[in-house]
Amino acid sequence: MKKIWETKVTGALDPGLDAFMSSIGIDARLLPQDLAGSRAHAAMLGRQGIITKETAAALETGLCALIEEARAGSLVVPPEAEDVHSFVEAELSSRLGDPGLSLHAGRSRNDQVALDMRLWLAEASRGLRKALLDALCAVLAMAEANKDLILPGYTHLQRAQAITFGHHLLAWAVALERDHGRFVDAAARADECPLGACALAGSGLPLDREAVAAALGFSRPSRNSIDAVADRDACVEFASGCAILLMHLSRYCEEVTLWASAEFGFVKLSPKASTGSSVMPQKRNPDPAELIRGKAGRAYGDLVNLLVMQKGLPLAYDRDLQEDKHAVFDAADNARACLEAFTVLVSALEPQAGRMRAAAEEGCLWAADAAEFLVLRNTPFRTAYAAAKALVEAYTGVRGYGRCPSIAGVIAGLGQAGLAALHPAWANVPLAELVPWLSLDACVQRRQGIGSPGSAATAGEIARLKAFAAAQAAGP
């Protein structure tokens, strides 16, 4: 296919290089955006008197037909086209004759492709935000249904303090809320229309950039013609949002994988979100969780690809930038697929309350609370810590291997004198207050401050996040 820029003098491009440089295989995906941009541009050229009203009307009719066909899937994009931009122009010219030849006045493929990517990103961001809200709602539903299940909370993957399953899921939820915010922020910064920057220096024609920006749904035209065609920050920010999101999902999926193991046994995965083994009939494998975890690597790859591709790249447009599409489309597709899978996975969690509780009862998770008991009775924290540690050591000594007595039983066995012998800070403490203070439920329910695992705090946070999700879903 002859190129729009080819003449008899220049001669033909090497067919191998032609195929190598072609982007139609990937940028055909920008067809709706390219047609929308062309339509707004043509209408503006007509209004500004740069082309005749008749030419503008013919272009409008031709472009509407193409938009319709693209929507219906009947517009065939030939694989030998150089890119989506030259395809649209060539198609219009072959259908309309002369009016098609007027379309490209005052624009370049450089500002066209920058525009197409921004339009595409705006839509992809909307879709991703919707999928994020679905995932968030699935997490909130699971948190609400299991608000008060006692679970050991971990640091260093060692049992640390008692929390609830609901509270743990809310940790996922607030990170998803931030992920959502990242896409909102990025979309606001990307809300500038590059069209009119032309190749790099703007156009000497009397373009109306404000009108084109408004017609395409942007708040304003981009501010610098060189930056407009050189800048791919919107791509990087979008891919970065995807990478951070996938980092979160991969951590949660790692937790699901651990929890579903016999060693933890905190959740079972319903058959709708787990697989069997081809050889070991007893197995249920958390494959969807593992695959989401694995696909985080792709998300990072896409981001790094965009960053490295632009490193040291001189302004303004360089053909290197054509590579942005592979990374951006893959980042969007991958994030979307992972979010949808994650939503199913979350709703397939079957929490095992007994296993969670038993694990929480075993690890002296009351130890920090024992110290706080003394702090509230005027013992300096470091002294209280030492006294609590002595209680832990006594408990561990009584416990022996493989047995798990209750701390209430151990304190009863020690008695007032035995307790005081552990550490002077324990002398004369009221046992009738200490024993219930150390129960896991009491430890959790004392924590009602903002962001804490107590029932009321958790309920408040679930309500806040539900309202956030509803408000965002109703928004633009």
Query: Annotated active-site positions, please?
Result: 156, 277
Q: For ligand ARG, give the closer residue by CB, 87 or 259.
A: 87
Distance (Å, whole) CA 314 – CA 303: 20
Reduced 3-state DSSP string for 291-340: HHHHHHHHHHHHHHHHHHHHCCCCCCCCHHHHHHHHHHHHHHHHHHHHHH
What is the amino acid identity at position 301? Answer: G
Q: For ligand ARG, give the closer residue by CB, 80 or 393.
A: 80
Give, in degrees to the nearest 5, the angle at Cα 46 between 41 and 52: 135
Judge whether 326 and 334 are in contact, CB under 8 Å: no
Q: For ligand ARG, give the closer residue by CB, 322 or 347.
A: 322
Distance (Å, whole) CA 28 – CA 69: 14
Number of neighbours of residue 50 by Cβ within 10 angstroms: 19
Distance (Å, whole) CA 279 – CA 287: 16
Burial class from Cβ neighbours inside 10 Å (0-12, 13-18, 19+) for residue 112 reads buried
Q: How far is the CB of 63 from ligand ARG (least distance, A)?
A: 19
Q: How far is the CB of 238 from ligand ARG (least distance, A)?
A: 16
Give the Å distances, CA to CA, from 386 to 73, 97, 370, 381, 438: 73, 89, 10, 9, 17
DSSP for 415-464?
HHHHHHHH-GGGTT--HHHHHHHTSHHHHHHT--STT--SHHHHHHHHHH
Judge whether 45 and 100 are in contact, CB under 8 Å: no
Reported residue count of the chain is 476
Distance (Å, whole) CA 182 – CA 242: 9
Distance (Å, whole) CA 274 – CA 127: 26
Radius of gyration of the chain (CA): 31
Q: How far is the CB of 234 from ligand ARG (least distance, A)?
A: 14
Q: How far is the CB of 317 from ligand ARG (least distance, A)?
A: 6
Q: How far is the CB of 111 from ligand ARG (least distance, A)?
A: 9
Q: For ligand ARG, give the closer residue by CB, 26 or 92.
A: 26
Q: For ligand ARG, give the closer residue by CB, 32 or 363.
A: 32
Distance (Å, whole) CA 30 – CA 234: 16
Q: For ligand ARG, give the closer residue by CB, 295 or 325.
A: 325
Residues that bind ligand ARG in the complex, under the rule CB under 6 A: 23, 27, 83, 109-110, 113, 317, 319, 321-322
Q: For ligand ARG, give the closer residue by CB, 202 or 405.
A: 202
Q: How far is the CB of 2 from ligand ARG (least distance, A)?
A: 16
Q: How far is the CB of 321 from ligand ARG (least distance, A)?
A: 5
